[in-house]
Structure 1
Amino acid sequence: MIMSCTKWFLFLICFVWISSLKAQDNLTAFWQPQAAVNYKVSNTYSHNFSLAHRAYLIKNGGFGYDARQIDIVHFSKFNLTDNQSLAFGVQYRFRNIFEDKGDEVRLTQQFNFTKRPLVVRFGHRFRTEQRITKALTIHRFRYRFAVDFPLKGEKLNIGEPYFVGGFENLLSVAKGNLPQYDTRVSSQLGWRVQDGLKIQAGIEYRVEDYTSTFPQNIFFLLTSVQLIL
């Protein structure tokens, strides 16, 4: 079952990659490194702080490194049961220092539900967001289905790898604008380096505004470090 899930996600990533090569005019690629710290206050309440940077690797048909933004994010998470939680987040996006696009404040409300029938854990995440800029406020509604599992044995031990994959749909609405529909597919490999420390690397593919006549194909190279205190 684990191998079949892995092959399915790898096949899907390869498929969208090959499909995107046919649309080079609307292809963009980013590198996004991230560092996150999870701090547990009690058995039912925890904090998450993260810092992420996004830079262009492919822009307007050309290759190169060009910084785009920096994101600072905080989430407060409340465990309702062992496998259900509520979270509330605030994010500030510094973009004006790199591009003349304006900074952004984002508020997030989240419900997460997980289930682990065997070795594989399934996750369902529902989010609502308010993306606030000087020009307008965009309301976003998101659903993500995710799977993760160890690649050795039935339990993730120190020094062992694991797999994380996800599929997400998004709807964005704003006053005076047409609704925008996006889809995201991601695949990452992670390692539990030591107790409380994980690193991950992988790719994500996005189709933005896929109902329009000119949808955008976007690839992300993702790298992250997660520290659990």
Structure 2
Amino acid sequence: MFCIRRILLVVHLLLGYCVLGQDHFTWYFEPDISLNYEVASNYSHNFEISQRSYIYDESFRFKGRQLDIAHFSALKITYGQSIALGIQYRFRNVFENDEENELRLTQQYNITTQRGGIRYGDRLRVEQRIRPSLTTHRFRYRFALDIPLSGEKLDVGEPYFIGSIESLLSVAKGNKPEFDQRLTTYLGWLLNTETKLQAGIEYRVENYTQQNENVLFFLTSLVFSL
């Protein structure tokens, strides 16, 4: 447990260094609610709704940016491995008239392994981001881990930690390839056997080979599992 706490401290120090070491940031607040529904022992659905808002200056004024509605269907193909298909619709135009709405299709392959009290996950995603003016193909790889903070097993009322790092490549006709990097940390609580509450931050470096943009997200998540 002492080793785990040292790992968490290092992760948060690195994230804080990345954030404080940058002068120009875009800040967002993004809460979401999701429902996981197990249809069979090897087949499940996930439904999620999330909303993203700009955060302006030190007064923390908020302005809506987008609303996302998403669905995933996942199939376990063997122990610790699954494939999934997803569809998502992003409402942008209702918040900003000069922006376009987006339909997103996702194909996913996921591997999870357990060592002691730590669970590791490797995820590959291929996405088609379809807008009226442009279709972008995006390729993503994410490594994640989650750790109970009060022992090797997560019990009701106890906290846990989630950390992940993700690399992204976006390609579109007529545009140069774009490379992004994301670092995310969450602290969560198992409120009961069917409900989790999570709060975290995500640091993104977007298009870092061309016009580097630094983005910071404040995240909250309420997860129901049936």
Normalising by structure 2, we get a TM-score of 0.96
Q: Distance between the aligned counterparts of 2:70 and 2:38, measured in 1? A: 16
Q: Distance between the aligned counterparts of 1:209 and 1:62, measured in 2? A: 28
Q: Which runs of 5+ in 1 are unaligned?
A: none
Q: CA deviation at 1:4?
A: 3.0
Matched, 1:200 2:202: no
Matched, 1:163 2:161: yes
For structure 1, which segment, 4-13 or 113-122, has the greater mean C-alpha deviation from structure 2 after superposition? 4-13
Could you say which residue in structure 1 is the equivalent of 2:99? Answer: 101
User: Does structure 2 conserve the Cα–Cα contact (< 8 Å) formed by 1:192 and 1:198?
Assistant: yes
Matched, 1:64 2:61: yes
Q: Which runs of 5+ in 2 are unaligned?
A: none
Could you say which residue in structure 1 is the equivalent of 2:174? Answer: 176
Could you say which residue in structure 2 is the equivalent of 1:131? Answer: 129
Q: CA deviation at 1:116?
A: 1.1
Matched, 1:12 2:14: yes
Q: CA deviation at 1:140?
A: 0.2
Match of 1:222 among 203, 208, 219: 219
Q: CA deviation at 1:62?
A: 8.6
The aligned amino acid for 1:165 is G
The superposition leaves residues 33-74 of structure 1 with CA deviations (integer Å, 9 ceiling, x where unpaired) of: 000000000001000000000000038x99521000000000
Q: Distance between the aligned counterparts of 1:4 and 1:120, measured in 2? A: 14
Give runs of ≥4 in structure 1 deviating > 3 Å: none
Q: Distance between the aligned counterparts of 1:62 and 1:19, measured in 2? A: 22
Q: CA deviation at 1:188?
A: 0.6
Matched, 1:79 2:76: yes
User: Does structure 2 conserve the Cα–Cα contact (< 8 Å) formed by 1:2 and 1:120?
Assistant: no
State the number of aligned residues.
Answer: 223
The superposition leaves residues 135-181 of structure 1 with CA deviations (integer Å, 9 ceiling, x where unpaired) of: 01000000001010100011000000000000000000000000000
Q: Distance between the aligned counterparts of 1:113 and 1:182, measured in 2? A: 22
Aligned-pair RMSD on alpha carbons? 1.3
Normalising by structure 1, we get a TM-score of 0.94
Could you say which residue in structure 2 is the equivalent of 1:118? Answer: 116
Q: Distance between the aligned counterparts of 2:4 and 2:31, measured in 1? A: 27
